[in-house]
Chains A and B, each alone.
Chain A
Amino acid sequence: MKASLKVLSKDDLDRIYQTALDILNNIGVNIEDDEIINLLKRNGCKIGDNRIVYIPERLIDKCLKSTPRGKVTLSGRDSLKDMISGPDQKYPFVLSHVLMNYYDELGGAYRTITKEDIQRFVTISDALDSINGIWMCTLMPEFGQLYSYYEYELAIRNTTKPVCISSFEPSAIPPVMELAEAIVGGKEELIKRPLTVAFCEISPLTWNKYGCDMLKATAKWGIQPVITVETPMGDTGPATFAGNIAQKIAELLSGLVIVQLLQEGLPLFFVVPWETFDMRTAQICLASRPDYVYGCAVGQIEEYLNIPFYSPVSPDSKLLDMQEAYELGFSLLPRMLSGNKGIVIHGLDQTHAINNELLLMMDEMIISGRRMIEGIEVNEETLAFDAIKEVSGKIENERRNGHFLNHKHTLKWYAKETVPRRDALIDKYRREKWLESGSKSFVQRAHEKTEEILSKHKVPELSSDIESKIKEIYKKYNIKALW
């Protein structure tokens, strides 16, 4: 039986969803864009004072029907590595998120991220099987305007896996779109394997001008939007799980309705972090206790809505220390076991920094999480009665002296059941051997591994056609080459 973590009953989910519908119909959404307000009005929404739009249930049902459900594709250079989220998914997809700073644990440095840092981080992510894609949101000052374009180009140069970007910059969409078209092989292909761009609604229940601009831009260009909502418990969202989830769903559905009215049938998905306003430090924190509880529920919520909820794992620790490992583990594992479709790994320091060695720690955790999802298989062969009988039958000097180390049953099942790694970084040696090997910490071993990956792993270069297209894009949009 496969592992399955559940913390909400069907009745609980129905009540939460009904509350979300009531919020949209009776409390409404504040929208800072006249064009979108008029669109909603033409489709049966009531408009109140202060740009508050009340969205009726029938419109939500209609828009949910026009949203492609049960299958969402994230694409990159190699179509074989596309992430197709849906009910057939075996494990959650994992994306490594590039952020604005780089933390160098061994060098003791914390710096604004550089192009070289991004190249190395994305290349390592490309090499690791447990990482399925890359999310870019660096806001690098060096990139200046059109940062979304630079981020996208830099990412696709260093990985063939799917790349998503976060953007509040509609003007960057046209060049990104042209490059995405060249990458997947034309306009038609881009409909099937769309470019994915994330942007944010503002809680509580507000679509500000920037968010509205992005909604319109993605609809205009046919980009797959990722709607993100952030409702920190006790801050811009209720301090109860049920109420906070209901508000989140209401906000997400408001975005979904606008997207479908702007362009019917456009696929989309959600990115939903769990934040808590820490009343002791007055900080918005992610990987804290409430996040672990949400992790237990997120798979159920997305299954109920039949729309993927990609959920960030974002430790608050500033170092690669025990707090970091605790926050990563407790945040990641419930998500994996509850059936979450996608997990976005932020590095450390409250979504402010990334680190290469951390990718190797994630790699270990993800492989263990996947094995836990597989659960325990019980059948005649795994019960191993015959093997136990055979081994126990070996007797020397009236003592049982058999073992399973050289038994065919072990050969067949050992790797499948225990998922051992030949190149494991987790230390399992005797102390003496560990001392002989230099008494290295996990971070030191991971650092050596990252250097090995960087020296060996070669990401295929872009084709000459795509390089020519990039030159055209530079000229057309007056983009200065940064590499």
Chain B
Amino acid sequence: MLVIVIYLKLFIKKENKILKDHLKQIYDAVTSYDIDLVKKLVTEALDAGENPIEIMNDGLSKAIIEIGDKFGKEEIFLVELMIAADACMAGVELVKKNILDNKVDAGKPKGVIVIGTVEGDIHNIGKDIVKTLLETSGFEVHDIGVDQPAENFVKKAMESGAKIIASSALLTTTSPHQKQIEEKLKEAGIRSNIKTIIGGAATSSEWAKEVGSDFYASTATEGVSIIKKYFEGVQNES
């Protein structure tokens, strides 16, 4: 009997070690910007029956949070952050599919956000950075794309139950549309339920005040940081 217990303990320990090794390898693959390796390791881990939530939280998210922190401290460049985020996202897609296929309870997303570039403006890079970083951190992001009229932001927020609308404007000729988003939210009677954040080269903190936006982000990563902080605050309140 004693022999069986010892064997079981050793077996469990070994299993835990394999799991930790897998997660560590996935973490390392993200932080070394290797998309193909991330896909391979996540597939192997899922095939081996490992918990998709653990892969997501302790492998993929852990890595991208650390990479994001490094970028925030200017220890790595944006290209490294972006490729790590893509590598992470490739793994997240595989995990999501596994969760759906196996009907695993993944819990609620950390927050729901609608994001897009305003009407007349086709710049997408900053918007895409915010989107990718939020998605890889466990947020549900609805990207409505570029050149989007104000009503589309509001419509998508109502459909998805989003708590934040993030709009980007890189041209001084298009930034007035950020004001229209505020007006459309008021018209729909949901302004008090939704926070707005603006960013892009044509914007500033003064402009945010003028528009009536709740938050202003001077860079994509600052935007991500503000959104994360907001949802953390909401969670703590509830």
A interface, CB within 8 angstroms of B:
396-397, 399, 401, 403, 405-408, 410-411, 414-415, 420, 422-423, 430, 432-433
Contacts and interface: CB of A to CB of B under 8 A. Distances in A.
B80 A422 contact: no
B141 to A, nearest CB: 15
A415 B80 CA distance: 11
B33 to A, nearest CB: 6
A437 to B, nearest CB: 12
Most chain B beta carbons < 10 A, residue from A401, A406, A414, A422? A406
7 contacts: A403-B124, A405-B82, A406-B132, A408-B33, A414-B79, A422-B74, A432-B205
Given A396-B145, A403-B125, A430 B79 contact: no
B75 interface: yes
A30 B146 CA distance: 80
Given A396-B145, A397-B145, A411-B80, A405 B204 contact: no
Interface in B61-85: 74-80, 82-83, 85
A405 B145 contact: no
Nearest to B125: A403
A104 B66 CA distance: 41
B162 to A, nearest CB: 20
B218 interface: yes
A407 B76 CA distance: 16
A399 B76 CA distance: 31
B146 A411 contact: no
Contact of A432 (B74, B85, B122, B218): B218
User: A-B pairs with the 10 shortest C-beta distances?
Assistant: A406-B82, A410-B79, A405-B82, A401-B124, A406-B86, A403-B125, A411-B79, A432-B218, A414-B79, A430-B218
B150 interface: no
Contacts of B112: none
Interface string B221-236: 0000000000000000
A397 B145 CA distance: 9
Given A401-B124, A406-B83, 5 more contacts: A405-B82, A406-B86, A411-B80, A415-B77, A430-B219
A422 B75 contact: yes
Contacts of A410: 79
Given A401-B146, A405-B125, A406-B85, A432 B77 contact: no
Nearest to B86: A406
Contacts of B128: 403
B95 interface: no
Contacts of B146: 396-397, 399, 401
Contacts of A430: 218-219
Nearest to A420: B77
Interface of B: 33, 74-80, 82-83, 85-86, 122, 124-125, 128-129, 132, 145-146, 204-205, 218-219
B83 A411 contact: yes
Contacts of A407: 79, 83
Given A422-B74, A432-B218, A406 B79 contact: yes
A41 B79 CA distance: 70
B79 A433 contact: no
B9 to A, nearest CB: 44
Contacts of A396: 145-146
Given A405-B82, A410-B79, A411-B83, A433 B218 contact: yes
A406 B124 CA distance: 13
B79 A405 contact: yes
Contacts of B78: 405
A410 B76 CA distance: 14
Nearest to B74: A422
A358 B132 CA distance: 41
Most chain B beta carbons < 10 A, residue from A397, A411, A430? A411
Contacts of B75: 422
A432 B80 contact: no
A212 B10 CA distance: 85
Contacts of B205: 432
Nearest to A408: B83
A411 B82 CA distance: 10
Contact of A405 (B74, B122, B129, B219): B129
A422 B204 CA distance: 25
B80 to A, nearest CB: 7
A406 B86 CA distance: 7
B218 A414 contact: no
A467 to B, nearest CB: 39
Contacts of A406: 79, 82-83, 85-86, 132
Nearest to B33: A411
A407 B82 CA distance: 8
Nearest to B205: A432
Contacts of A432: 204-205, 218
Contacts of A414: 77, 79
A169 B74 CA distance: 50
Contacts of B80: 411
A185 B27 CA distance: 49
